Structure 1
Amino acid sequence: MDLGLNGRTAMVAAATSGIGLAVARRLVAEGATVSICGRDPDRLDEAVRLLTQQAHGAVHGTALDVTDHAAVRTWVDEVAATYGGPHVVVANAGSPPEGGAERFDVADYRAALELNLLSAVTLTRTALPHMRAAGYGRILFITSLAARQPIAGLALSNTVRPAVLGYAKSLVQELAEAGEGSVTVNVIAPGMTRTPTLQAWAEQLDGGLAALSADIPLGRLAEPDEIGAAAAYLASALAGSTTGVVLPVDGGAGRSLL
């Protein structure tokens, strides 16, 4: 199936491992030119090397922290000037610390907002003018199951992840009212996924990964490539009428009706 991504330029934030890297790998496989970012230069170089092995277009990496708004704006503008677009932007970031609501003070909540919401806002706002000029835009937000229902012990995620949905839904309406139907906005909400971070966390639990899978109807964790495949479709020309969607990739772990 041709997803129509050959020759498009995509940017994937926080893509040196896990879900971000899996998304970048899928986009590269579809022929897109892909630029990724990450905080650790060594991990970034390794991720670029891995992606280059299967790339049809160019692969580019920039070392930055997604909470550094000036650096994110520079990254977008440099990619636009060098490769065109960007046509696809994937807003992704790490997870805030674990803990209950009373464990954290205001500074912790502010930091979580910077990491998971405001970083996505800056990336989106900077990329949108380039998408308008190109006549093609796919904005994807990677959140988590916590965006749809609270998860015990993840108060920061439970607070800030739903805010991304609110921003995405607001953006959908504003783009529609402006007649900018060439730009779509969608959210992917992964559940427990077999990433290096999750596997390291599971080693500290009784029962390990099996314990994490116990409440998942499919009986297993999601694989990063399954989230990558969902992202590639939503980024594609085939998904031109799909906007405002919150797509769970959680093995049925979500209990909400909507």
Structure 2
Amino acid sequence: MDLGLNGKTALVAAGTSGIGLAVARALAAEGATVSVCGRSARRLDEAVAIIDGDGPSPVHGAALDVTDHDAVAEWVAGTADRFGGPHVVVANAGSPAEGGAEGLDVPDYRTAAELTLLSAVTLSRAALPHMRRAGFGRMLFVTSLSARQPIPGLALSNTFRPAVVGYAKSLVQELAAAGEGGVTVNVIAPGMTRTPTLQAWAEQLDGGIAGLCRDIPIGRLAEPEEVGATAAFLASERAGSITGAVVPVDGGAGRGLL
């Protein structure tokens, strides 16, 4: 299936490892010109080299923190000047700190808001004017299972992942009101996924990864490539009628009806 991404420009935040890297690789394999950002210059160089082997189009990397609003805006503008677009934007960030609701202080909530919610707002605000001018855009927000149901011990994620969904749903309505149906906005909600971060966390738990899989109906973790493939489809021309969706990639772990 031709997803129509050849010649498109895609930005992937926190695209140097785990789910972000898998999304970037999937987009590159479909012919998109990909620009990724990450905090570590070393990991950024490694990621660019990997992504470059996946597709025919140029790959670009920018060393920045997604909570640095000015740096994010410069990344978007610089990519637009160099490659055009962006046509596809994937708002992604690391996970906020673990902890229960009462065990965390107000500064912890502020830090998580910057990382999980406001980084997504900043990136979308910088990118949407370019999408509007192009008449085509795919805005994707990567959250987690906690956007659909609370996860014990992850109060910050439970608080701010749903807030990202609320922001995304608001954008959908505003774009529709402006007659900009060529720009879609969707949320991807991965469950337990085989990333380096999750594997390190699982080692600290009784039962390890096998214990985590007991609550997943398919009996295994999701692979990052499966999340990447979902993102590539939602970013495609084929998915033009999908907007405002929260798409789980969780092996059936979500218990809700919607």
Does TM-score exceed 0.5, indicating one fold?
yes
**RMSD (CA atoms):** 0.5
Q: TM-score, normalised by structure 2?
A: 0.99
Question: Gaps spanning 5+ residues in structure 1: where?
Answer: none
Question: What is the letter of the counterpart of residue 70 of structure 2?
Answer: A
Q: How far is the alpha carbon of 1:103 from its aligned partner?
A: 1.1
Q: How far is the alpha carbon of 1:57 from its aligned partner?
A: 0.6
Mapping 1:139-178, distance limit 5 Å? 139-178=139-178
Match in the other structure for 1:49: 49
1: distance between equivalents of 2:70 and 2:107? 21
Q: TM-score, normalised by structure 1?
A: 0.99
2: distance between equivalents of 1:51 and 1:150? 34
Q: How far is the alpha carbon of 1:204 from its aligned partner?
A: 1.4
Question: What is the letter of the counterpart of residue 3 of structure 2?
Answer: L
2: distance between equivalents of 1:256 and 1:157? 18
Q: How far is the alpha carbon of 1:53 from its aligned partner?
A: 1.3
Match in the other structure for 2:96: 96
2: distance between equivalents of 1:151 and 1:112? 16
Question: Gaps spanning 5+ residues in structure 2: where?
Answer: none
Match in the other structure for 1:106: 106
Q: How far is the alpha carbon of 1:26 from its aligned partner?
A: 0.2
Q: Percent identity?
A: 76
2: distance between equivalents of 1:219 and 1:171? 35
Q: What CA deviation, in whole Å up to 9, does each residue of 1:74-102 have, x standing for no partner?
A: 00000000000000000000001111001
2:24 corresponds to 1:24: yes
Match in the other structure for 1:242: 242
Q: How far is the alpha carbon of 1:22 from its aligned partner?
A: 0.2
Q: How many residues align?
A: 258
Question: What is the letter of the counterpart of residue 96 of structure 1?
Answer: P
Q: How far is the alpha carbon of 1:202 from its aligned partner?
A: 1.0
Question: What is the letter of the counterpart of residue 162 of structure 2?
Answer: P
1: distance between equivalents of 2:232 and 2:54? 16
2: distance between equivalents of 1:53 and 1:107? 41
Mapping 1:1-258, distance limit 5 Å? 1-258=1-258
Q: How far is the alpha carbon of 1:55 from its aligned partner?
A: 2.2
Residue 11 of structure 2 aligns to a residue whose secondary structure is strand
Moved over 3 A (4+): none
Question: What is the letter of the counterpart of residue 205 of structure 2?
Answer: L
Residue 3 of structure 1 aligns to a residue whose secondary structure is coil
Q: What CA deviation, in whole Å up to 9, does each residue of 1:126-164 have, x standing for no partner?
A: 001111111110000000000000000000000000000
